[in-house]
């Protein structure tokens, strides 16, 4: 028989042990790092989904660094990214914290609003 009394529930002790070992910062990727919030990531992934459906993009990577967050877009997984969408809060009061950078390092657009910055990549239907 076990040494536990009949009044205690064994699942309670496991639950207490689990919450004690869990880190308090489980929702953020890394402490002291910059990340995209849910609305920003939703807008970026909507654009990504449309471009995948068109067959132009195939893979992506997200990096949360100490000074900026980067969403990289790849045509193939083995290549360098064709575009990088960066969020750098240090530039928020200057030229804007959002930027789209090409594979060559050329900044295609920079601004304060993500929607307007992503317009450089978001091709709308043209009426002829």
Residue pLDDT, tens place only, 63-111:
888 888 999 998 876 678 888 999 888 888 888 889 999 888 889 999 9
Cα dist from 103 to 3, 74, 89, 125, whole Å: 65, 10, 22, 25
State residue 31's pLDDT score: 64
* Alpha carbons 103 and 100: distance in angstroms, whole number: 10
**Is 80 a member of any domain?**
yes
**Is 3 a member of any domain?**
no
State residue 21's pLDDT score: 47
What DSSP element (H or E) covers 85? strand 83-87
**Is 2 a member of any domain?**
no
**Is 92 a member of any domain?**
yes
Selection from 73, 82, 77 nearest residue 106 by Cα: 82
- Residue with tokens 């195939």, as numbered in its chain: 58
Domain count, the chain: 1
* Alpha carbons 27 and 117: distance in angstroms, whole number: 27
- Residue with tokens 């949360």, as numbered in its chain: 64
- What is the percentage of the chain residues whose pLDDT exceeds 90? 13
What pTM was estimated for this model as a whole? 0.68
pLDDT digits (tens, 9 = 90+) for 30-57: 567 788 889 989 999 999 888 888 888 8
State residue 77's pLDDT score: 67
**Is 45 a member of any domain?**
yes
* Alpha carbons 120 and 75: distance in angstroms, whole number: 17
**Is 72 a member of any domain?**
yes
**Domain of 57, in residue numbers:** 38-118
**Is 42 a member of any domain?**
yes
């Amino acid at each position: 028989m076990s040494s536990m009394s009949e009044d205690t529930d064994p699942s309670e002790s496991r639950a207490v042990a689990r919450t004690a070992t869990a880190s308090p910062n489980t929702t953020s990727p890394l402490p002291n790092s910059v990340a995209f919030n849910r609305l920003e990531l939703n807008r970026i992934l909507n654009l990504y989904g449309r471009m995948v459906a068109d067959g132009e993009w195939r893979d992506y990577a997200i990096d949360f660094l100490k000074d900026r967050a980067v969403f990289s877009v790849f045509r193939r997984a083995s290549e360098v990214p064709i575009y990088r969408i960066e969020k750098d809060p240090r530039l928020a009061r200057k030229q804007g914290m959002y930027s789209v950078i090409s594979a060559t390092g050329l900044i295609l657009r920079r601004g304060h609003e993500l929607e307007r910055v992503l317009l450089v990549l978001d091709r709308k239907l043209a009426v002829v």
